[in-house]
Amino acid sequence: MASARELYDKGAHTQFLALLPDLLADGHAAASSRRELDQARLSSVYSLSAALLLKLGSYEQARLTADRARTWAEVSGSPLAAAAASHELAIVLRHQDRGEEAQALMESAAAGVEATGLRTDAASSAYAQMLCTLAYTAARGGRRTEALAMAEEARRAARRLPPLAPAGRLFPISPAAVDLYTVGVHWALGDAGAALEAGQNLRSEHFPTAERKARLGTDMARAWWAWGRPEQTARALLDAHRASPGEVRDRPAIRGIVTELAQRHPRAAGVRELRAAVSAPAS
């Protein structure tokens, strides 16, 4: 599981996929002990696998995988494992235009985590993540007031967390990560200017993993693209590619921006370099 998380955090998606069958087999073998911890770990394996499949745009497979994560979370009785599984399933539902179901699922998951009393950083991280996902889901549904209120509540929930999330945490959220989610919330609401303002003070050093560093680049690129700034879009995507090539190359929505840039603004600064980088064979 540690190896899989490391590959995910690097954006090494192909290597993670190759590891996945053995990882799931080991997880099921461990869960046969019927110990709650082993069952929760198997749920976490399925949740991380669903997160990977979501990045690759394999939504039906991600749906099945997230369902299995929820099943094993229920068996284990772990509220954090249940929250992780619900988080991935909600994202699948959102991509399938089932926003109301996603919202209800996340509200239930957030309530379950809150009921633990939030006595640990791990629980507080899970709660802040639930609020971030609720905010983004509301934004994608056009519910502006609710989205902004949830984003602000997530920011308050993250204040007690360390500046950098510890390695291996189920929900690697931090104050800076919440700010990055706020960029996405504003973008989803169609307010590119507010998205750019929300991200203007964020830097790659605020994030501990290559995946999060690249996510900063891709989220800012989406905002710049919506703002009609091709050169800044290309620059942000090049930053993302330098942090983790897979985060640009393997995500269908981001590749779509690269394609549009190359078609509509082939002579803009950075576009030719970006297209060459994304088209190069994966190392």
**SS3 readout for 202-220:** CCHHHCCCHHHHHHHHHHH
Q: Assess contact for 246 and 263: CB atoms under 8 A.
A: no
pLDDT band at 283 (very low <50, low <70, confident <90, very high): low
Q: Which pLDDT score is estimated for 188?
A: 96
Q: What torsion, rounded to 10 degrees, do the Cα atoms 66, 81, 204, 258 define?
A: 0
Tell me what the mean pLDDT of segment 141-169 comes to: 90
Name residues whose C-beta falls within 8 Å of residue 3's C-beta, 6 or more positions apart in sequence: 19
Q: What is the DSSP letter of 165?
A: P
Give the pTM. 0.93
Taking 3-state DSSP, the helix, strand and coil percentages for the chain, each rounded to the nearest 5, stand at 75, 0, 25
Q: What is the pLDDT of residues 182-225, one digit of tens each?
A: 999 999 999 999 999 999 999 999 999 999 999 999 999 999 99
Is residue 11 helix, strand or coil? coil
Q: Which amino acid is at 171?
A: F
